[in-house]
Structure 1
Amino acid sequence: MRKKEEEREKLKHTKIGGSREENAGYMNQILPVQESFDLVKRDLLIGGRMATFYFIDGFTKDEVMLKVMDSMMKIKEEEMPADAQQFTRIGVPYVEVEVLEDFDAVIRNLLSGVTCLFIDGYEGCIAIDCRTYPARGVDEPAKDKSLRGSRDGFVETIVFNTALMRRRIRDPHLVMEMKEVGDSSRTDVAVCYMSDRVDRELLLNVKRRIGEIRADDLRMNQQSLAECLFRRKWYNPFPKFKYTERPDTAAACLLEGKIVILVDNSPSAMILPTSIFDVIEEANDYYFPTLTNLYLKTARGLITLMTVFLTPVFLLFVQNPRWIPEVFDFVMVKGEVNIPIIFQLLMLEIAIDGLRLAAMSTPTMLSTPLSVIAGLVMGEFSVQSGWFNSEVMLYMAFVAVANYTQPNFELGYALKFMRLELLILTALLNWIGFAAGFVIVVLSICFNKTLSGRNYLNVKLN
């Protein structure tokens, strides 16, 4: 990594001279022009001077470059401007054009898809940004759907994502700062915020942390950036950031004064700061009236609590049947218990994850019938065979379905780990273990420090 930094510093201090041959020779030393088929070098005669184009095949809009080159070829020798800056104003009929002065900027722009032009006698490189990236349509995300909201979603191209938010917020206070992270990947990272509403202390902290990142690459895009920004404690599984694939949700968060971070090649936005109330929100919460919104949030919160405590409380009552009032006597296991309840619950926890992983790896046209078959086999015949009791299957089925009411996938697994911890402690230590597990869950939430310096309950931590 230190070698890469030294090479970059050397490129920054190497200025572009007026000799096209020397500039092209230096570029040929740095870039594998002969080895890489998609790295194209093109020599032309413009206004009586030799010129060299460098561009990446597949990133350049052929129609645009054809018109630009046609305009350049019409320039006569006596009409050639004196320097590169004048040439951009007279000879390049295009919007996004600038003159680069050092080779580090040239290499960075070229490998990003910008066409670079060296003309003999001109100091500097003319960068023509007529690039285009392969991109899919802005379809609605498969996970984060809305009943009444817009039907567009983020894609893997960062410029498209910023445009989707800019379309919704036509305010001059909307700022989108572009950063670069990774010595090898040099990934584009956009920090978006409303300058008149953002928490300035948090904004400076985020920008400082991004500037201090010393990583070779962001190979996993947004997740790699998240790990570099805030290293989590392995024993606390709760997520530190909120993610969304919907531009309307990201725009609403911007208007609330939050910071949105976009990473190139990632179809989602990272939102800061984060609390437990932000993480359990979903897109529908923004589109319904206040009363409906309040009911949905309350129902989602209660179901979230039940996913954590339902099976541990059931296990606690099974171990202490004298605690159950007669009116709730029906919750007791009526059939013969061949396998201890705790092992049944743990086996079903793993089996549910196995079904989920199988559904993710199964082709779409087969996933539904296979899921139905697997559910019937596990539900009906596993009870008849004596492996599981019907009460255990019922409660685990509720937990499995209730997990999908949680819009955040990472939070769902954090709650699952808390539930497993409660189950094991309850099985080992009875009510003392349940109380200890409950305290651990509360402390994990209260002391889950996020990037803003606050915990999940939005309380400032030292």
Structure 2
Amino acid sequence: MQRTAGQGTTGQGSAPPPSSGDRGALVPALADNLKRIRKQLGASGDIVIREITLGSPQPIRAAVLYTDGLADKQIIHESILPSLMTVSAPHSAEPLLPETGAALLARIQDTVLQVGELKAVPDLAGVLREMLSGNTVVLVDGVQSALSVGTPGWKDRAISEPAVQNVIRGPRESFTETLRTNTALVRRRIRDERLRCEQRAIGSVTHTEIAIMYVDGLADPSVLQEIDERLGRIRTDAILEGGYIEEFIQDKTLTPFPTLFNSERPDVIAAGLLEGRVAILIDGTPFVLLVPALFNQFFQSAEDYYQRADIAIFLRILRYLSFFIALLGPSLYIAVTTFHQDLLPTQLLISLASQREGIPFPAFVEAMMMEIAFEILREAGIRMPKAIGQAVSIVGALVIGQAAVEAGIVSAAMVIVVSLTAISNFVFPSFNMAISVRILRFGMMLLAATFGFFGVTIGLLALVIHLCSLRSFGVPYMAPFGPYNTQDQEDAIFRLPHRMLNKRPQMVNTSDAVRDRTPDWEPEN
């Protein structure tokens, strides 16, 4: 796949070509073009069509079209319209001849309009797409093409602190819902001429703009080719969030684990690009996809690289420990209290037996009730208004837990186990991985209640086999643990000091493995 700087690719996933009907090529007559545009857009009150007369030896009718609310009206009223209304015949010593519409439109593009990005639009479908993207379209009578002026000016959310991936030390910027703002946030951090940004539109109705960003010379060409092919195979009418793209292009759908990484932090995406990964930015969402994604990547936080290496190592070990607690906490309690009481110290066994005296349910039913109750409280806290959501969820958990113990429905030890499991689930930096563990926890509880430690062991073996079978755009999901790679261990569970991190991940980057030198690369002429 040949790629050139500054030029995007248009695959099968792009907006479909216009048909030969009303959305086909423009006609010379301005009135006919306006009639077709009004027919396509209906009686939409936010569509503005301003007909004007352009000055020339022989006046020519023209029209300015834009969408109110998407286009910048200040630029239109203070720059575009005044410039067009004062168009006069070109200065020449020779007698003036009537100027054709095509020549007038070319003169407008070359010398009259000096704002925004200008480009010719040959068909009606392109005119509609430009208008609905916030641009202003100029139509001239007698010309079978239009002129698009870049004037997007809708209101967007200001850059704010990350809402999900918070850190104590590090940048306080997060992506927004505007694609061009997000690409600028990445370019601010990677000021290198090799950073590429290729755009395309996906969705036959929404025509959602997406951008593929990568560093030329660092990203694997086979991964870029695979991304291009998978995006090209997307057939849908709407892309409203990055989750749509994620489901369409992920390697394996029958898995609870995420095989694409997403982040709302520009510094995380920039770091991924510098390792040789590829970012997919979608207009309308503050979350950016990063591929390929590895299992250990979901346990790494941006703060690991802003703190000292010893602190980062401690925090990473804590996250892996929390992973096993969140996955196996209730299962181990069920297995021990149901099948393997002889493994407990006598004093602890007597204490647990006294607590469970009078409890009418087995440990499995006990754990399932508490886990489901906590999941309900968690979801309720998210959906409630922010002013009361957190208070209701905390009070609800305390009241229900205390009342359940006093009523003899569950034991106090079970409340402790479920609470510790829930808290451990919040340690993960990635919300996607936390959800996967929440789902798998119920299956492990069932295996523990049926077969004890033997069932937990079988579940873990099946989980490891499944993880080793996953791939993310051709890269083994469990790398660098399986297949084992010694070099990549320097930033897996442990994070060595920055002076020793002089190699990029070998399983991700295959072209330029050394961080502290510039590869032999020359810009194309």
Equivalent residue of 1:369, what SS? helix
Is 1:111 the counterpart of 2:132? The answer is yes
Match of 2:503 in 1: none
Question: What amino acid does structure 1 have at the position aligned with 2:85?
Answer: M
In the alignment, is the contact (CA less than 8 A) between 1:300 and 1:405 conserved in 2? yes
Compute the displacement of 1:26 (Å): 3.1
Provide the identity percentage: 24
1:49-96 deviations in Å (ceiling 9; x for gaps):
211111111011111111221122122245678243332121112131
CA 1:5–1:275 in structure 2 vs 1: closer, same or farther (change >3 Å)?
closer
Match of 1:345 in 2: 367
Match of 1:424 in 2: 446
In the alignment, is the contact (CA less than 8 A) between 1:11 and 1:102 conserved in 2? no
Question: What amino acid does structure 1 have at the position aligned with 2:120?
Answer: V
Structure 2: gaps spanning 5 or more residues: 1-13, 92-98, 484-506, 508-525
Match of 1:96 in 2: 117
In the alignment, is the contact (CA less than 8 A) between 1:193 and 1:257 conserved in 2? yes
Match of 2:267 in 1: 248
Match of 1:414 in 2: 436
Higher relative CO (Cα under 8 Å, sequence separation at least 6) belongs to 2
Compute the displacement of 1:333 (Å): 4.4
In the alignment, is the contact (CA less than 8 A) between 1:157 and 1:265 conserved in 2? yes
Summarize the alignment of residues 11-410 of structure 1 with structure 2, pairs less than 5 Å apart: 14-32=24-42, 35-47=43-55, 48-66=59-77, 67-78=79-90, 82-218=103-239, 220-230=240-250, 232-234=252-254, 236-319=255-338, 320-325=340-345, 329=349, 332-335=352-355, 336=357, 337-410=359-432
1:203-248 deviations in Å (ceiling 9; x for gaps):
1100111112121222x421111111126433x2111211101111
Question: What amino acid does structure 2 have at the position aligned with 1:359?
Answer: G
Deviates more, 1:75-84 or 1:421-430: 75-84
Deviates more, 1:43-52 or 1:328-337: 328-337
Compute the displacement of 1:341 (Å): 0.8
Question: What amino acid does structure 2 have at the position aligned with 1:37?
Answer: G
Equivalent residue of 1:82, what SS? helix
In the alignment, is the contact (CA less than 8 A) between 1:272 and 1:452 conserved in 2? no
Deviates more, 1:164-173 or 1:374-383: 374-383
Tell me how far apart the structure 1 counterparts of residues 316 and 351 of structure 2 sit (CA, whole Å).
Answer: 28
Equivalent residue of 1:30, what SS? helix
Equivalent residue of 2:429, what SS? coil
CA 1:331–1:82 in structure 2 vs 1: closer, same or farther (change >3 Å)?
farther
Query: TM-score, normalized by length of structure 2?
Result: 0.81
Equivalent residue of 2:479, what SS? coil
CA 1:439–1:330 in structure 2 vs 1: closer, same or farther (change >3 Å)?
farther
Question: What amino acid does structure 2 have at the position aligned with 1:36?
Answer: S
Equivalent residue of 1:344, what SS? helix
Q: CA RMSD in A?
A: 2.5
In the alignment, is the contact (CA less than 8 A) between 1:174 and 1:194 conserved in 2? yes
In the alignment, is the contact (CA less than 8 A) between 2:269 and 2:279 conserved in 1? yes
In the alignment, is the contact (CA less than 8 A) between 1:83 and 1:123 conserved in 2? no
Aligned residues: 455
Tell me how far apart the structure 2 counterparts of residues 281 and 208 of structure 1 sit (CA, whole Å).
Answer: 29
1:266-310 deviations in Å (ceiling 9; x for gaps):
111001011111112222123112222122111111111121122
Tell me how far apart the structure 1 counterparts of residues 268 and 403 of structure 2 sit (CA, whole Å).
Answer: 44
In the alignment, is the contact (CA less than 8 A) between 1:222 and 1:263 conserved in 2? yes
Question: What amino acid does structure 1 have at the position aligned with 2:87?
Answer: I
Tell me how far apart the structure 1 counterparts of residues 297 and 104 of structure 2 sit (CA, whole Å).
Answer: 54
Equivalent residue of 2:426, what SS? helix
Tell me how far apart the structure 1 counterparts of residues 71 and 16 of structure 2 sit (CA, whole Å).
Answer: 30
1:15-56 deviations in Å (ceiling 9; x for gaps):
334432333233233332xx1111121101121221111111
Tell me how far apart the structure 2 counterparts of residues 192 and 49 of structure 1 sit (CA, whole Å).
Answer: 44
Tell me how far apart the structure 1 counterparts of residues 394 and 237 of structure 2 sit (CA, whole Å).
Answer: 45
